[in-house]
Structure 1
Amino acid sequence: MSSDPGELVDMAWDPITRIVGSLGIYTKIDFNQRVVAECRSTSSIFRGYSVFMKGKDPRDAHFITSRICGICGDNHATCSCYAQNMAYGVKPPALAEWIVNLGEAAEFMFDHNIFQENLVGVDYCERMVAETNPGVLELANRTAAPHAGEHGFRTVGDIMRSLNPFTGEFYREALQVSRLTREMFCLMEGRHPHPSTLFPGGVGTQASSQLITDYLTRLMRYVEFMKRSVPMHDDLFDFFYTALPGYEHVGERRVLLACWGSFQDPEHCDFRYADMAAWGRRMFVTPGIVVDGKLVTTDLVKINLGIRILLGSSYYDDWEDQEMFVTADPLGNPVDRRHPWNQHTIPRPQKRDLDGKYSWVMSPRWFNGRDYLALDTGGGPLARLWSTALAGTVDFGYVRATGDGVRISLPKTALKGPVEFEWRIPRWSNTLERNRARTYFQAYAAACALHFAERALAEIRAGRTRTWEPYEVPDEGIGCGFSEAVRGALSHHMVIRDGRIANYHPYPPTPWNGSPRDSFGTPGPYEDAVQGQPIFEENGRDDFKGIDIMRTVRSFDPCLPCGVHMYLGGGKKIEVLHSPTQSAGAGMS
């Protein structure tokens, strides 16, 4: 840290806490102007899946890529199966798709709940606010909570106390609820986070009315929880806007949001690339790219063709002189060399240089024909709700997109009558709104799950209980899967040659959000959201904790486990030796 007064002060948080320890944030802070002047986002771990997927049997893709992450592995498995369905030309039975949707909805509920209440919530709890903004806590203790009758906390200070780790009422309740949602997932897909019953062409789950009932009993307890959670978080986040004028600029960046859609509708989805634009728009979360508040497209074909992988500040060699695997998509559209179908991963380890190369994360961008846009996912929920709201096509019994918002209807539960929530498009893409959207999307996922359960029961009662379709792996083929991981846009791109994987590239949301400066010098979303934001922390320079920097980064729901892999270059051979006098010995050649 620089000690010269009046100069920019170098401050780093590496690793960022409450996530796996591989994300670092490096800043220059102007304490005189009370602003973060610069920011660099770094990742110290290498993603190697695109290297060691080559040569594998395509049917193993979802089992292998599920291990990319120990948090959202099922999202990867699902997206991989979508890509395989396309490559193999197989359409799963309707019941199988409802089961997959129920599993994905349970994952959204589980992961968002535990991250929001037990990780992000700590940033706004009484203990944290007391350390960083004691004046704000004093005001919170005097401020009545507007929705106290709905969530049971009399003041905003009481809400903050309920989020204290291990002792807070809401913190502990969220841990209990997370167990129910994980059980819901396991009912549908066998185990969590690496599903055992999911495969291309369908699922191995034995569906019955009892199975769906077991899921629903847990789901209704979660619905009860959400009836308290949504108004409680509204009170908490609204308070920060009033307590700290100008707080809307914390984590604010230009509205550049990406959503690849979620929850297939089996009545419309056949997984054919030629029909992808049509069935993509019938997802229960609408895919879309939102630029400056306007919906640019909901066409998954256009979204796919616009993806570019740039290098810039990352530790890789270029692949300009390497083979192109796909020159045109199945519709005849040209495919760019920097598209994931054509990407080569050539790691080049080197010393970190914040003015040069400083991260293992590449820089995914979306090319609109003129600019390479550094899209972010808003932590997942902000982009999903924003895109769905603007598209206005989702409309079923529990959810309705209105053009400027999303209405969510939750039915009567044991302790509360029916409740309707409405998420409305906010004025800003900032830290508080990313966090607020996460709470609303939990309610959205619960509402979708109610619908999926009803549709699954209808299939079972009609005797349509088949959950898989046979398929054959082609000698040559390509596929792409588009879905949403919990924290945002997720795609898998696969090329098959001679019946084996020739190229495979999964792109989770964290490379989009956590990318470094690209080859055009454009900062990644973490960097862009942090640099330029004002400082509201009451602590001075010597005991500065950077709470609003941490709140901003964590509002994106970082998931760096998507990078904990191993690469051995040309490879090593490991031999296990056995002898009569030694049960086992090990040697390495």
Structure 2
Amino acid sequence: MPTRIVVDPITRIEGHLRIEVVLEGNKITDALSSGTLFRGIEKIVENRDPRDVWAFVQRICGVCTHIHAIASVRAVEDALDYRIPKNANYIRNIMTLTQFVQDHVIHFYHLHGFDWIDVVSALKADPAQTSALAQSISGWPLSSAGYFRDVQTKVKTLVESGQLGIFANAYWGHPAYRLPPEANLMGVAHYLEALNWQKEIAKVHAVFGGKNPHPNYLVGGMASAININGNNTINIERLNLVKTKIEEAQTFVDQVLMPDILAIANFYKKDLYGGGVRNYLAYGGVPTVDVRNPDSYLFPGGIVLDRDLSKVYDIDLKDPKHIQEFVTHSWYRYDDPQAGLHPWQGRTEAQYDGPKPPYENLDENKRYSWIKTPRWQGKPMEVGPLARFIIGYARGNQRMRTLVDDALKKLDLPLSALFSTLGRTLARALETKYSVDHLAGFHADLVANIKAGDSAVFNPDKWDPSTWPATAQGVGYCEAPRGALAHWIKINKGKVESYQAVVPTTWNASPRDAQGQIGPYEASLLDTPLANPDQPLELLRTIHSFDPCLACATHLLNREGEEMLNLRVI
């Protein structure tokens, strides 16, 4: 007899997500992904100066603040054919890769790690054996038996006090955990270390953007005045600080994150469920030369269909046949409820006809999410680190290929293993390595360009709105830590006429479309085994592997800018 399991809210994510699954025997046979959060930032920016929009839309997310600003300023720059100086491009790339590295490390240790690491099991570990394990896989200095004994004592004190704090409300002792106690203790220790480390890499954003989160940006360049000998500018001391933080990040990724991921993967490499949809999308990002030169992108763009890596399709974000958003199963209103609208024609208007909380279940035959349903030429797409590495691999990016091939060889796994929850997690770690290594290169390029006499970070040529055309439209796109991100803008007489953002979690967490095709979250849960339906650890492991960010994916105000509903989860 099929049973339905509801997890609401999914925790250890940004935002509010409800997952319902149908279980037959011990396997999931159907799934619903429902975004339960809403707001209306896209409506807030209408009729504003396009040069100010980045500061508003950056607040779409409290995590991916930088990358929304980048998408916004690029949308305006695209509409106005506005070029930026070389230094501005270097700084934007440094900011982007810094966010990738920080975000991916935080995600694994603090949001996703406890889907793989059993904290309570760490209490049974032998600190001396944990030390031997740690030293066998890495040269990280914090690996002595005494150090791990101190960590174990700290965790034991929490458990015995009955106040687990950050370690509370998990499924400790679950049969789906595979690690021995010593590996669990090592993982807990690195969880705590990552808490301290992540605040150091964030200083890079503070140097170039003034603060983190929500650093400062500028249409036409960057608000990062450069004078190597100045006191209140980006000077040689600030550049050296950035260099030091990048080097520290390289060490942490090389000696902590990568060894941990490979060690953990060795114990879970038989659990290859969670593949999801078979189509992958990346817009491409981090232009080494110029955003108008896709061949220079550090992350190649394109489409891979049906996991066929022999063919990569190009994507055109301005073509209304390429990108469309549907609302067939979303709480939004279109004139034609079956239509798919390109973002330049997109609408953000509520039509809530769902159940009033508290409620038992959603109805997959009706509307059931505050998230729209984007499609590429009618097909569902997974976005994110796995999609980027699949497309990079298919495009022939040699560094990406080497990282993938070397990791899979160490794990004795075929390339097809990437199409899984474990593969998605591995891809994010490989992307962290790929990003941190290129950080040093962009920093060196920036310093060399400054030393050559170029200190420009802003192009004033088109700053005056009187030089703009009466109407213009543009799209700003990039790769965010969670996947492909784009903002579409229409400008009329110097003001924002309309604005739409399609974000990574909108792609991944989307509900069904008009043809009944399910989205990546929903597809990834099919055939997932649950050892204990009362504790769906395997479900959480797969959903967390996408690094959900529901705050980015949802938005709602009516035409007058008024809130339509006040919802709270009981």
TM-score tier after normalising by the smaller chain length: 0.7 to 0.9
Matches of 1:565 and 1:345, distance apart in 2 = 8
1:178 CA drift (Å): 0.3
Aligned length: 499
Distance 2:505 2:562 in 1: 30
State the partner residue of 1:261. 284
Residue 27 of structure 1 is matched in structure 2 by 21
**Paired position in structure 2 for 1:357:** 367
Q: Does 1:203 align with 2:222?
A: yes
Tell me the residue number matched to 1:95: 87
**Structure 1, residues 400-441: CA drift from partner, whole Å, max 9, x if none?**
344894789xxxxxxxxxxx9999955342111111111111
Structure 2 Cα separation of the partners of residues 423 and 109 of structure 1? 25
Residue 248 of structure 1 aligns with an amino acid whose one-letter code is L
Query: For residue 379 of structure 2, what is the amino acid of its counterpart?
Result: L
Aligned partner letter, 2:374: P
CA contact (8 A) 1:386 1:405 kept: no
Equivalents in 1 of 2:240, 2:475: separation in Å? 34
Measured after TM superposition, the shift of residue 162 of structure 1 is: 2.7
Structure 2 residues without counterparts, runs of 5 or longer: 146-178, 227-234, 356-361, 564-570
State yes or no: 1:366 paired with 2:363.
no
Residues 157-200 of structure 1: CA distance to partner in whole angstroms, max 9, x if unpaired? 3222233xxxx21011111110111111211222122112x111
Give, as a single letter, the amino acid of the residue that structure 2 aligns with 1:54. E
| Counterpart Cα distance in 1 of 2:526 and 2:412 | 32
C-alpha distance in 1, partners of 2:236/2:395?
34
The TM-score, its normalising length taken from structure 2, stands at 0.81
The alpha carbon displacement at 1:522 in A equals 0.6
Structure 1 residue 254: deviation in Å?
A: 3.9
2:165: which partner in 1? Answer: none
Within 1, Cα distance between the matches of 2:477 and 2:561? 32
- Distance in 1 of aligned mates of 2:386 and 2:135: 23
Query: Which among 122, 125, 144 is matched to residue 117 of structure 2?
Result: 125
Query: Aligned pair 1:531/2:526, yes or no?
Result: yes
Given that 1:280 and 1:299 are in contact with CA atoms closer than 8 Å, whether structure 2 keeps it comes out as: no
2:325 equivalent among 302, 309, 315: 309
Structure 1 match to 2:168: none
* Structure-2 residue corresponding to 1:160: 184
Aligned to 1:554: 544
2:471 to 462, 468, 476: 476
- Pairwise CA distance, 1:96: 0.8
Residues in 1 aligned to 2:512 and 2:435: alpha-carbon distance in whole angstroms: 34
RMSD between aligned alpha carbons?
3.2
Correspondence for 1:240 among 268, 275, 293: 268
C-alpha change, 1:125 and 1:145, in structure 2 (3 Å) is: same
**What's the CA shift string for 1:558-589, capped at 9, x where partnerless?**
0112257662653579xxxxxxxxxxxxxxxx
Greater strand fraction, Structure 1 or Structure 2: 1
1:150 corresponding residue in structure 2: 138
1:447 maps to 2:437 = yes
**What residue is the counterpart of 1:214 in the other structure?**
241
Match of 1:226 among 253, 258, 264: 253
1:568/1:340 Cα in 2 relative to 1: closer, same or farther (>3 Å)? closer
Residue number in structure 2 paired with 1:332? none
One-letter identity of the residue aligned with 1:149: I
Alignment of structure 1 residues 42-441 onto 2, 5 Å: 42-127=34-119, 148-150=136-138, 157-163=181-187, 168-196=188-216, 198-207=217-226, 208-228=235-255, 229-241=257-269, 245=270, 247-249=271-273, 251-266=274-289, 269=290, 276=292, 279-291=293-305, 292-294=307-309, 296-297=311-312, 299-301=314-316, 305=320, 306-320=322-336, 338-352=341-355, 353-355=362-364, 356-367=366-377, 372-377=378-383, 380-393=384-397, 400-402=399-401, 405=404, 425-441=415-431
Structure-2 change in CA distance of 1:147 and 1:511 (3 Å): farther
- In the alignment, the residues of structure 1 paired with residue 58 and residue 278 of structure 2 have an alpha-carbon distance, to the nearest angstrom, of 31
List per-residue Cα deviations over 1:186-219 (Å, max 9, x = no partner).
11222122112x1111011123333221111011
Match of 1:492 in 2: 487
Name the CA shift for 1:426/1:449 in 2 (closer, same or farther; >3 Å): farther
Percent identity (aligned): 26
Match of 1:40 among 17, 32, 50: 32
C-alpha offsets along residues 44-98 of structure 1, whole Å, 9 cap, x if unaligned? Answer: 1224233333222211111111010111011100111111111121111101110
Judged with a 3 Å threshold, the aligned counterparts in structure 2 of structure 1 residues 283 and 422 are, in CA distance, closer, same or farther, namely: farther
Distance 1:424 1:481 in 2: 36
Instruction: State the distance in 1 between where 2:288 and 2:352 align.
Output: 44
Unaligned runs of 5+ in 1: 1-6, 323-335, 395-399, 409-419, 574-589
**Would the alpha carbon gap of residues 362 and 130 (structure 1) be closer, same or farther in structure 2, given more than 3 Å must change?**
farther
**How far did 1:531 drift?**
2.1
Report the CA distance between 1:281 and its aligned residue.
2.6
